[in-house]
Amino acid sequence: MKWVLALGAVRLRPGSAVLGRRPVGGRRLEVGVLVVAAVLGAVATTYLAVAEPNVGIHLRGEHLWFFGSSSAPPPRGGQCGAVVLNTIALGAFAVAWLLVGLVVRRAGVSARALLLMAAVWSIPLVIAPPLFSPDAYTYTALGAALNHGVDLYQFGSGAAGPISAVRGAEPAWLNTPSPYGPLFLDLMGALSRLLGEHMLQVLVALRLLTLAAVGVLAMLLTRLARLHECGVARALWLGVLNPLVLLSAVSANHNDTLMMVLLVAGLFLAVRGHPLLGIVVCVAAADIKVTALAGAAVIGVDYALHQGGWAARGRALAVLS
């Protein structure tokens, strides 16, 4: 358990408090809480990775991942018992995250230690199939259908016929036009074309993309926190270590991850004095999901408000719109 020793040896550094004046017992307690949180979170994600593939309501078909089977019996206690155990595991994951937050707020933790903990918690999620959401399977179906000439803004991916790549998508989405932007559909179409419409290979490629996006997001949050003299540890705790982020991005490979990293990149560029470029990046994010246009609006309004006089503000808004 080298990672446990690494977390136990992490050097706590001052946050709002001055650790140099804290008693040795207090520092040991904080290190102990971090180790407990690391182990608790790792146990929770490991259980979810092992148990959820056999009880997940969205994993109905066969060969949806490299292991696990929807036809396997649920744990002792039946489906209801399995749901209860999964809920307990999710609760333990949340508790582990909150414990880390207490130490971050009380004493401060190095960014390296938080990223190490995020990696440890994520390893089981990377190995397991997409959990708690079938959206990744819907994405692979959309990419394959696009390559079969389906107009995804008029028809669902089911219009491609009984091809293998659509077998994991939810029935409702098979007959529903896509709500996603052209950039994301073209991306999934390119992955499907490149990998020969092999669903599992496309899923792995999508997972690698979302993992890379989480890494870039961590870097951007770190730089934004330093620019605004905010706590880097708090930013990483909230924006990367968060169970909602890890389950949605690392496990479920949701396209919100790709949208979010572009959105934050746009905000970062605007903060660094490039509002027009920031808006362009936010528009690219909206080409994945339209909600990212809110970021472009925020950048435009903020830039206009920093101009002198109403006439200059109006011109700025006109240019940036």
- Model pTM score: 0.85
Q: What gap in Å lies between CA 258 and CA 26, rounded to an integer?
A: 40
CA angle 167, 170, 175 (to 5 degrees): 95
C-beta separation of 108 from 13 below 8 A: yes
CA distances to 46, 48, 52, 73 from 85, in Å:
13, 9, 10, 15
Closest CA to 122 of 45, 53, 56, 48: 45
Q: What gap in Å lies between CA 135 and CA 40, rounded to an integer?
A: 28
State the chain's maximal CA–CA distance in angstroms.
Answer: 70
CA distances to 118, 251, 290, 307 from 215, in Å:
11, 14, 23, 35
Alpha helical stretches, state H, the chain: 2-8, 24-55, 78-106, 111-127, 135-147, 171-174, 182-194, 199-227, 232-239, 243-245, 256-271, 275-286, 293-305, 310-320
C-beta separation of 136 from 258 below 8 A: no
Q: What gap in Å lies between CA 298 and CA 305, rounded to an integer?
A: 11
Closest CA to 108 of 230, 284, 224: 230
Q: What gap in Å lies between CA 267 and CA 150, rounded to an integer?
A: 35
C-beta separation of 250 from 214 below 8 A: yes
Torsional sign, CA 239, 241, 247, 252: positive
Q: What gap in Å lies between CA 189 and CA 192, rounded to an integer?
A: 5
Task: List, for residues 108-151, the tens digit of each pLDDT value.
Answer: 789 999 999 999 999 999 999 998 888 999 999 999 999 999 99
Closest CA to 86 of 51, 53, 121, 41: 51
User: Which residues of the chain carry a pLDDT beneath 50?
Assistant: 1-21
Q: What three-state secondary structure class fits 268?
A: helix
N-terminal to C-terminal alpha carbon distance within the chain = 54
Please enumerate in sequence order all residues whose Cβ is within 8 A of that of 225, keeping only pairs 6 or more positions apart, or say none. 231, 232, 234, 235
Place of tokens 């008693």: 23
